[in-house]
Structure 1
Amino acid sequence: MNPLLRAEQAVLGAVLLDPDQLTRLGWLAPEHFYRPVHRALFAAMRTLHTADHPAVSAEGMVPLSWVIDTVAEASRHVRGLTAPYAHSLVTACPRSGHAPLYGRMVLEGAIHRTVTEHAVGLHQAARADALRGDVEEALHQADVLTGVLGDLARRWGTEPHPLAPTTPPAIAVSEPLHLRADEVAEDERFLLAVLTDQSGAMNEVAGWLRPTDFADPAHAQLYRSLGALHHRGEPIDRMTLLWEAQRRGLLANGTLTAEQLAGICDGVGAGSAEWLGERIMRSSLTRTAAVSAQAIRALAENEALAPGRLIGHALHALGPLDDARTRWQTANGIPAPTPTPPPAPTAGNSPPARVHAALARSTPQPSAQSTQRLGALPAVTAARTSSRTPI
């Protein structure tokens, strides 16, 4: 059986044996369980615990009604759940006092699974925006993914900070995002012609458009050459651009051909550099979102990567998209949002979930010995321990 499913069974069995274990699992949520029946059972336990089920305050033996009522509550949301399955969860739990560690295993699997799902969603949104010539859905999905990473980091017990991987993730070969490629290439050629032909046109885009925003590497190198002329304050025209391209070896190394350069320099130079630059920026943003999504998915599918490092690497992979968004907002005159500081802890309140998670993983919790568990399972419980024993 999958180790993650065994961990889900173990944490549920621990709470069936000892409802008080829920107080040590406040950072674990029903949606962190993979199987729907397990999500329903954990949600039912939390509901009964919040409603002060008699088992919560029972001294010594845990009443059998705790198991019966848990199954009844969960059965309202899933089908096929039976009492024998609940008993099998009890037998799957080696030690009820180890519930936080079992919960950590469940949370670790949920983090990898959740990050993968949202990375797929970001990639799909980027493809849809590329087809529409839009960016809104990709930016929204990126915000959702950032928020999810922050929540998962706090539950795991770490701070959500970008962390560069020592080696780039091995991205699986997938379909490249070359939607509307002919239209994008035409926009790039048109913009380069405008920047070459119109005096001062570079002033309209130099502050936010970068060579990496061009899909065609040759176009990117030409824009870099134009940027160098602009930075040095030298005049820009067909001759100076040709000279700068030759100085950079673009013709000698095959990056550009004389025909390509002539086609751009002799093209129609009438148009708005700012408008064309915004179109190129849109396509660049969706490509960047797709690349970031693929990198994050590759990270999440690496089961050997610890959750804390996965979250940090995923936030780092979103960095290029954040930079593209900032430049997109500059191009459109959109003010950057003011970052909202995290709420300060209030004196007297319980520690945040991050502290609970960290303590649950690092502080040993001894469990009391018992001699009997559920009355229906005497043969399999003699070698196990529990802090509280149901009857």
Structure 2
Amino acid sequence: MSKYDSYFLMKAEEVSDYVQEKLSYFDADARLECKEIGDGNLNYVFRVKDLANGKTIIVKQAGEALRISAEMHVSTDRGRIEAKILGIQDSYAPGLVPKVYLYDGTMCAMVMEDMIGHTMMRTGLLKHEIYPKFADHVTTFMVHSLLRTTDIVLGHKEKKELVKSFINPDLCEISEDLVYSEPFIDYNNRNNVFPPNADFVKKELYEDQALHLEAAKLKFEFMNNAQSLIHGDLHTGSVFINKEHTYIFDPEFAFFGPMGYDIGNVIANMFFAWCNGDATIEDEGEKEEFCGWCLRTISDIVDLFIEKYNKVFDEYVTETMAKVPGFKEWYLEGILSDTAGVAGLESIRRTVGMANVIDITTIPDEEKRARAEKIVITLAKNYIMNRRSFRSGADYLNAIKEAIGTFESR
């Protein structure tokens, strides 16, 4: 009988013992050190290290409630979903996701490769680090993991079986509330609005009925379009990176949904990095370099995705009717519209919603922070209201330039 035969939340000292019992990764007599390294809302993440040789491994355990709100309970089955999807993603985009060594359904714990030598991307961006290969890597990951799990490529029965196994109602409900609903109608009184912008938010978000209608349309697209196996939470906090390599992880929000959800999330979070750099970098040359790279990356993500989409579609398409002339272009138009819409939703919810993004909340100058938020909200509304007009990287850059120009710093 093992203490790990029934679920409980492990502490660091128990995690080392757990790893030794469950795996033969370390020597039996290894002297291990374990530290909690995660700061997310849903999980407990530990690094176990062999003090003799530096060998490391990561243990991630799913909690039963959100750290930001003990009243928000979520199914620990998301750990199974995450472990399974990492294996699928690794088969489609090898080398861009960490290896999974074990998933324990009783303890709701996953043991996985330590992404040593990499930094959480958001942490690096807050230090205004530049990652020149990110756009190439993330678009390779998205095109292969998304397009190749659609009905265009997968057999329809195979896909429907996958849809069943990745039904993720608890975490989908979080997205449905926090991304698609509460930022526009604060019925749960959980939004975090920066006080200097309260009147602006009231007018531009809470009172804009046309915006609410478009958000509602996008919400029902999210709930009903089982297009592909999406990551579901693909932001710069879900990326470990260095100058040469990228890991994408933390796909516990995964389910079959619209492809544009992942792409739009990445775009929105790259603009948050621009906002921080624009507001906090004092040296003009450094600011131009970092902020310019952020904007080029947004443009490159869109254009590289389109380029790779066309190649992967042609290489892997199996569905007879998807080979009809004009279908590939029509399908892409839908993806790009969803991408722009979600970029807008993510931008708004991380600015005024329950989970504000640190890129903006750490801007120390209140006037500069208020300006950054107004730019984000104005840009986001353009993305949502005119989402069918965003068809290239240049379209995004033009919209960004227009939004920035509306609030030129004095």
Which category describes the TM-score, using the shorter chain as reference length?
Answer: under 0.3
Highest RCO, 1 vs 2 (Cα 8 Å, sep ≥ 6): 1
Bigger Cα Rg? 1
Please, what TM-score do these two structures have when normalized by structure 1? 0.25
